[in-house]
Amino acid sequence: MPPSNIVEGPRVATWHCPSCRESVPRLLPNGSANRVTLPPERTMLPDDDIRAACERVQGLRAPEVCYACDQAFQELLGTLVRPPAEEGDARGEPGLNDTGVVGALVPLAERGTQLLIFNVIAGELRCTEIEYLTDFDPDRLTYPGSRGAIAPRIWELYERHLAELHAGSDSPL
């Protein structure tokens, strides 16, 4: 029994987000729905090689994710990453041509989100790693200037994505 001077608040039903695989509230505290429909530009960089790699990922796509997952997608998509085995502070090393980019996030129904990392190998953009979003080590995220050399193709994708983000933030909602 709650004390008589408080009113029991409304209960918010939960749903299962296919991306983080958590049981999350259906509504956000501001009352809007905690389900975000993902248009392609929020899940992959606009590039034919990246699109082709996404199409090769097997599994039913989840059309909606929770708000927190959508925010994580926006932070990760187009971000530069360093190789998984690299230890210590990347800034202490000479420039290497092994910086990759998060090219796509593919939310799979009931299986979680797969994160696709791309690198340039022999001049071609290739998907070099696929891992579950929940297993990805955020310490691998990096920034231009902290790693030295970046393959031109990766740099182009990164710059174009940034330009699109900036263009989008200036437009009226």
Nearer to Zn ion, 17 or 80 (CB): 17
Residue closer to Zn ion (CB basis): 76 or 127: 76
CB of 151 to Zn ion, least distance (A): 32
Cβ at position 69, least distance to Zn ion in Å: 3
Contacting positions for Zn ion (CB under 5 A): 17, 19-20, 66, 69
Tokens 């000479």 correspond to what residue?
94
Distance of closest approach, residue 171 Cβ to Zn ion, in angstroms:
27
CB 44 within 8 A of CB 51: yes
CA distance 119 to 24: 34
Q: Which is nearer to Zn ion, 69 or 80 (CB)?
A: 69
Strand order in the sheet with 112-121: 124-132, 112-121, 100-108, 80-81, 141-142
